[in-house]
């Protein structure tokens, strides 16, 4: 379903041409207001005429039109305010029901809310513009077009988008409505942003921002927009660099995991070797894709249940990373047929999770072993205490 509203067309056209979507939205609103003000003053009866005799004159409701103009002026004030972007969007959403149902103003607002990624970026899909071959991301003078599909799953796909002028890449994760709720998608973005802010920035800077475009009446999927990461995931890294230093790589990975668990109280729950990025030759790492992630929020409600689930999540994360040791040994043609857990615990100081995820080392080994056995799949490796 493509909206056929002249103000929507003006908004998307300017955004696609000038690459500054918020300015385009502002200009579309100003145009909306100016045209309605030209219809005539709000006095003089409930209804008025608009349009020239030669083109056919149409009735309009003066009271509703006056109200729509007032609401759109409030939207402009919100856009130009100093409020954080999330508060701006929340305030604009509150004004939406006040606009005339089925009117052009409400449709313009809906399209903006469904395309806005952040203060500077918008995602414009083929459902918005029939003339687009594929969806595009615009913002800060750049236009990112779909360049390559990086992966597909049951509930969506991940695509690389590139600004042809600069060669800069971003990643758009498309999630069908049945794949995750709006709350899950927002949570994934929030967890990633927090982990990057505290654990990623010291080692690398991402160009472009992150944001969520939620599905609405014009779309059956939501988009999670993120910069593309430097480096390679663990499995590609091990295949390309078979002489990698295993101790340095996994020391860095377990340290990252500990900081995420202990300091941020975030567990990933899916940190297998394809979700761990090796950023450089110094073995700095970053974990991506927080779709299954969880944060321990100590708000006093159901704390015993929350803590229990978080402990299980930490052990699950440890199981994934220990499994990665086996898998990387396998792909780099090292000895992989046996793994002694006690040696791994000693080598990487996993005892620091004792008292936090479990009570004793024996309990830690008992808890983590089933996760390792499950994740290593068909790789024949004996797990010993």
Instruction: Indicate whether 23 and 60 sit together in one domain.
Output: yes
pLDDT score, position 156:
81
- Cα 191 from Cα 202, distance rounded (Å): 17
Q: Is pLDDT above 80 for 88?
A: yes
Domain CATH number, residue 131: 3.30.200.20
Average pLDDT, the chain: 87
Residue 308's Cβ-side half-sphere holds a number of Cα atoms within 13 Å equal to 4
In contact, 140 and 20? CB cutoff 8 Å = yes
pLDDT score, position 15:
92
In contact, 149 and 159? CB cutoff 8 Å = yes
Note the pLDDT tens digit of each residue in 343-354. 999 999 999 999
- Cα 379 from Cα 322, distance rounded (Å): 14
Helix (H) or strand (E) holding 184: helix 182-195
In contact, 149 and 162? CB cutoff 8 Å = no
Instruction: Indicate whether 240 and 374 sit together in one domain.
Output: yes
- Domain closes at, from 89, 116, 143: 116
Note the pLDDT tens digit of each residue in 321-344. 999 999 999 999 888 889 999 999
- Cα 158 from Cα 175, distance rounded (Å): 9
Dihedral sign (CA 299, 304, 307, 309): negative
- Domain closes at, from 116, 147, 178: 116
Domain count, the chain: 3
Residue 194's Cβ-side half-sphere holds a number of Cα atoms within 13 Å equal to 19
Q: Are strands 338-340 and 382-384 parallel, antiparallel or unpaired?
A: parallel
Instruction: Indicate whether 216 and 264 sit together in one domain.
Output: no
Q: Which residues of 56-81 are buried (b: 16+ CB within 10 A; e: fewer)?
A: eeeebebebbebbbebbeebeebbee
pLDDT score, position 29:
96
Domain CATH number, residue 273: 1.10.510
Instruction: Indicate whether 17 and 107 sit together in one domain.
Output: yes
Note the pLDDT tens digit of each residue in 360-369. 999 999 999 9
Strand ranges of the sheet holding 276-278, from the earlier edge strand across to the other edge: 232-233, 276-278, 285-287
pLDDT score, position 53:
40
Note the pLDDT tens digit of each residue in 245-276. 999 999 999 999 999 999 999 999 999 999 99
Q: Is pLDDT above 80 for 34?
A: yes
Instruction: Indicate whether 240 and 375 sit together in one domain.
Output: yes
- Domain closes at, from 83, 101, 116: 116
Q: Is pLDDT above 70 for 28?
A: yes
Q: What is the DSSP letter of 291?
A: T
pLDDT score, position 236:
94
Taking each helix axis from N to C end, the angle separating 21-38 and 6-18, rounded to the nearest 10 degrees, works out to: 150
Single pTM value for the model: 0.81
User: 353: domain range?
Assistant: 232-384
Q: Is pLDDT above 80 for 51?
A: no
Instruction: Indicate whether 160 and 266 sit together in one domain.
Output: no
- Cα 270 from Cα 274, distance rounded (Å): 10
Instruction: Indicate whether 375 and 300 sit together in one domain.
Output: yes
């Amino acid at each position: 379903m493509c909206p056929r509203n002249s103000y929507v067309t003006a908004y998307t056209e300017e955004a696609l041409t000038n690459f500054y979507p918020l300015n385009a939205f502002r200009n579309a609103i100003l145009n909306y207001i100016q045209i309605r003000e030209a219809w005539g003053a709000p006095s003089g009866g409930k209804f008025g005429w608009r349009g020239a005799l030669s083109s056919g004159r149409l009735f309009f409701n003066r009271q509703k039109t006056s109200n729509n103009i007032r609401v759109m002026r409030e939207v402009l004030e919100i856009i130009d305010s100093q409020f954080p972007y999330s508060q701006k969007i929340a305030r604009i959403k509150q004004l939406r029901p006040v606009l005339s149902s089925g009117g052009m103003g409400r449709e313009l607002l809906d399209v903006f809310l469904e395309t806005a990624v952040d203060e500077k970026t918008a995602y414009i899909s083929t459902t918005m513009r029939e003339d687009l071959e594929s969806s595009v991301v615009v913002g800060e003078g750049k236009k990112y077009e779909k360049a390559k599909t990086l992966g597909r799953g049951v509930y969506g796909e991940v695509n690389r988008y590139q600004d042809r002028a600069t060669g800069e890449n971003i990643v758009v994760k498309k999630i069908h409505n049945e794949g995750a709720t709006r709350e899950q998608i927002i949570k994934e973005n929030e967890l990633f942003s927090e982990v990057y802010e505290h654990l990623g920035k010291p080692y690398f800077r991402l160009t472009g921002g992150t944001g969520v475009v939620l599905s609405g009446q014009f779309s059956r999927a939501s988009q999670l927009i993120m910069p593309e990461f430097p480096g390679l995931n663990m499995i590609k890294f091990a295949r390309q660099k078979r002489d990698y230093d295993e101790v340095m790589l996994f020391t860095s990975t377990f340290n990252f995991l500990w900081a995420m668990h202990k300091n941020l109280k975030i567990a990933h729950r899916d940190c297998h070797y394809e979700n761990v990025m090796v950023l450089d030759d110094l073995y700095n790492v970053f974990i991506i894709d927080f779709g299954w992630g969880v944060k321990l929020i100590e708000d006093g409600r159901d704390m015993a249940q929350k803590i229990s689930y978080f402990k299980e999540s930490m052990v699950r994360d440890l199981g994934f990373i220990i499994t990665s040791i086996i898998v990387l040994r396998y792909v780099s043609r090292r000895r992989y047929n046996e793994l002694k857990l006690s040696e791994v615990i000693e080598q990487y100081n996993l005892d620091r999770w004792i008292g936090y995820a479990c009570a004793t080392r024996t309990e830690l080994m008992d808890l983590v072993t089933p996760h390792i056995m499950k994740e290593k799949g068909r790789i024949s490796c004996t797990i010993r205490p």
